[in-house]
Amino acid sequence: MHSVTIYHNPACGTSRNTLELIRNSGIEPTVIHYLETPPSRAELIKLIGDMGITARALLRKNVEPYETLKLDETQWSNDRLIDFMLEYPILINRPIVVTELGTKLCRPSEVVLDILPTTQKGAFTKEDGEQVIDTDGKRIVK
């Protein structure tokens, strides 16, 4: 049995596509609706470390309160940016997927294919109509 966890926002098309790509591989993941159930400080720090990125790289820029808090300014430390993400979970970019093969911010959604422990079971077309998996379960490379 493979363990896969997705930090998911059902209002986000990329997050929905990523979730369906996981399911298309035959895995029903643990789904964490992180806006309702945000990660703890320790969990968020671990996710950032496991992804090998900075807190700033995980920040979602096109939402409030990013601009209001002036988060584009360089004076904010990683710790302070994590504080903001914990206070305002909408600032956490998504979807984040955790598998036995790694942890990734799956933007675009096809990034999840790099860390899924099983292959795709059939064709998959994203919500916008872009086909990413063919009928043989193979990734379509552009």
Distances (CA, A) of 103 to 2, 4, 68, 116: 14, 10, 30, 10
Active site members: 12
**Paired tokens of 112:** 């999840």
CB atoms within 10 A of CB 5: 16
For the chain, the first-to-last Cα distance in angstroms comes to: 32
User: Which amino acid is located at 105 in the chain?
Assistant: L
Q: How far apart are CA 95 and CA 104, in angstroms?
A: 8
